[in-house]
Chains A and B, each alone.
Chain A
Amino acid sequence: MNTLLQNKRNQIIAIIALGIFLLILPFLAGMIGQAWVRILNITLLYVMLALGLNVVVGVAGLLDLGYVAFYAVGAYTWSLLASQHFNLHYPFWVLLPLGAFLAALAGLMLGAPVLKLRGDYLAIVTLGFGEIIRILMNNLDKFSLPGSDTVYNLTNGPRGITGIDGLSFFGFKLRQGLEIFGLPITGLQLYYFVFLTITIFSVWMVYNLQHSRLGRAWQALREDEIAAKAMGINVRNVKLAAFAFGALTGGLAGGLFAAMQGFVSPESFGLLESVMILAMVVLGGMGHIPGVILGAVLLAAMPEVIRYVADERVQESVFGHVLIAPEVLRNLIFSLAMILIMLYMPRGLWPSPDRKAEALNSGAGK
């Protein structure tokens, strides 16, 4: 009993420490350079993406190789409705929910035709879906409806959309930055706090979903579809819910991405992005939220860290000359790290434990 209390106390201390660390992190990064704050923000977006994909792949066991499509839907929703392109400037509280909603709708559109597919076959179709969305964004810059000669430009094609509105609250534009008691906070740092809030919201949502009646149905579906049906689970509805809720955080992240960058183009939503997000889920520990977050943080930050390690100057000082081009070396180290992790930790860096904590729910039992 004593150790249990102590565990609880240690847990609270750990959470407070983590909270303080997350609050001062953007300022620490800012001391090195604003580029690092941007890396932090991008990392948070990847955490959201990985959390969403984890619902589909990790919890419900549906292999999705086109997840980036939902990121694109969120990003383009924001870009089209808050930029010079159509001269529309809707506020964030319309755009973020709308982007999430449209992404969830896209999730249903993908989910409906693939209900009977699994494994490799499902992967191929979802991969195609991801590409369809990207190609649509690429080509919807000059199209006309049948029976009319008017040419429309919806997405501005490969040139992308520029001049996208950033986040603003009550007329205050976050990009301007802020000064509180002489402490300057840059725009990117303000974005960090917004992203952090929405990431925490996503964690909360995904955690609650996973630990609910619906979440158990998802897991049952992943483990054994036939047994799940025999238990009275309506597999169709449950699968569609997984696609929709998985897509939702992707849509949120997409909108935030557009708001921070101020520019989106189809290039950002290629197949490699989908693969990257999937790698975060698999490497971290499928179906286990802390593992997935760890995977996202590592894979989003690692290329940037390696960029410094693999720098030409480092090579020159060690070997006297540049042995391998930095870009090649970076990919080499990155791939090697992924291969090693999968070889030695096939269930991921932080998989769900074999024995689940019982202390939490001992009250309900007899």
Chain B
Amino acid sequence: MSKMIFTADGVTKKFGGVTALDSVSMKIPKDSIFGLIGPNGAGKTTFFNTLTGLYQVDGGNFTFDDKPLNVKAPHEVAEVGIARTFQNIRLFGEMSVLENVMVGRHVRTKAGAFGAIFRPPSVRREEAETEARSRELLAYVGLERRAGEKSRTLAYGEQRRLEIARALATDPKLIALDEPAAGMNATETVELRKLIERIAKDGKTVLLIEHDMRLVMNVCHHIVVLDYGKKIADGTPAHIQKDAAVIKAYLGGAHGETK
């Protein structure tokens, strides 16, 4: 198998008496599109939040890019090369579309307060580079013409794409998308699918958490299914679709209750 960018080994997370993640392990191959699915409350978002540093794990560990991933604060995650988007869009609404992406460049730039005030040539150059790179990324997601508008004025699908551009601006090796297709119509979803495929082709690994089965099955190379905090299946889309445990988890029966 190809080189791994990310591995989770026996990751456990408890909230009081509830075990949200129960010894979950997975390996994400480099430059792949990796799907993480499961019914509501399966622990997808918890997994996501532990890996992006919002929660500390209670057991197990992560390896990222051949090094143990050991983050104390969320802001360190972006520095290592993991970027994320949010299930409920979290843009900087009062800032312009361009500025949103420029904020993403924060971790890869270094001008401080005195540089900001006195603007020596090095800072001017950095600012120009930040802006040029951000415009490139806006063009990449097809938002270059909205650069000057406040991001809260964008349409829903555009806001999703802007979040992706902002995440890409941190130069991530792994980009984690938390339900990017939620609330999108069919056309927007097709566009999103093309975008995700392009990102993977351009040498970034994509971790996709998604409810839209058609999107997941079409776009992912590899899928892990969670249910009640446990991993119940792990394989290619074709394999997952036939897996008895997955069908049971989604259609009910095993637990004696349906949703």
Is the pair A214, B116 in contact by a Cβ cutoff of 8 Å?
yes
Is the pair A230, B106 in contact by a Cβ cutoff of 8 Å?
no
Is the pair B113, A241 in contact by a Cβ cutoff of 8 Å?
yes
Q: Does B95 contact A (CB under 8 A)?
A: yes
With known contacts A212-B115, A219-B99, A224–B90 Cβ distance under 8 A: yes
Is the pair A219, B113 in contact by a Cβ cutoff of 8 Å?
no
With known contacts A209-B117, A364-B135, A355–B150 Cβ distance under 8 A: yes
Is the pair B75, A216 in contact by a Cβ cutoff of 8 Å?
no
With known contacts A217-B103, A232-B75, A235-B75, A354–B153 Cβ distance under 8 A: yes
Q: Does B170 contact A (CB under 8 A)?
A: yes
Is the pair A355, B149 in contact by a Cβ cutoff of 8 Å?
yes
Is the pair B95, A220 in contact by a Cβ cutoff of 8 Å?
yes
Q: Does B128 contact A (CB under 8 A)?
A: yes
Report the bound CA distance from A219 to B130 in whole Å. 17
Q: Does A231 contact B (CB under 8 A)?
A: yes
Interface centre among A215, A232, A234, A352 (most CB of B within 10 A): A232
Task: Kindly specify which of B78-86, B234-242, B249-257 makes contact with the partner chain.
Answer: B78-86
Q: Does A78 contact B (CB under 8 A)?
A: no
Is the pair B106, A231 in contact by a Cβ cutoff of 8 Å?
yes
Q: Does B77 contact A (CB under 8 A)?
A: yes
A352 proximity list for chain B (CB < 8 A): 94
Which of the residues B74, B103, B119, B126 comes within 8 Å of A208, measured between beta carbons? Answer: B119
Of chain A, the residue at the smallest CB distance from B133 is A364
Is the pair B111, A214 in contact by a Cβ cutoff of 8 Å?
yes
Q: Does B166 contact A (CB under 8 A)?
A: yes
B116 to chain A, nearest CB (A): 3
Q: Does A358 contact B (CB under 8 A)?
A: yes
A214 proximity list for chain B (CB < 8 A): 111-113, 116
Is the pair A231, B166 in contact by a Cβ cutoff of 8 Å?
yes
Q: Does A87 contact B (CB under 8 A)?
A: no
Q: Does B217 contact A (CB under 8 A)?
A: no
Give 1 or 0 for each of B79-114: 1 = CB within 8 Å of chain A CB: 100011010001111111011001111110101110
A227 proximity list for chain B (CB < 8 A): 86, 90-92
Of chain B, the residue at the smallest CB distance from A217 is B106
With known contacts A231-B104, A232-B106, A355-B148, A212–B78 Cβ distance under 8 A: no
21 contacts between A and B (CB under 8 A): A208-B118, A212-B111, A212-B116, A212-B117, A213-B109, A213-B115, A213-B126, A214-B111, A216-B106, A219-B92, A219-B94, A219-B99, A227-B91, A229-B73, A231-B75, A231-B78, A231-B103, A241-B113, A356-B149, A357-B148, A365-B147
Given A220-B92, A220-B103, 20 other A-B residues pairs in contact with their CB atoms under 8 A? A209-B117, A212-B111, A212-B117, A212-B127, A213-B109, A213-B111, A214-B112, A219-B99, A223-B91, A223-B93, A223-B95, A227-B90, A231-B75, A231-B103, A232-B77, A232-B106, A235-B75, A356-B150, A361-B131, A365-B147
B residues contacting A by CB (< 8 A) are: 52, 54, 73-79, 83-84, 86, 90-96, 98-99, 102-107, 109, 111-113, 115-119, 123, 126-128, 130-132, 135-136, 139, 147-150, 153, 166, 170
> What 3 pairs across the A-B complex have the smallest Cβ distances?
A232-B78, A232-B107, A212-B116
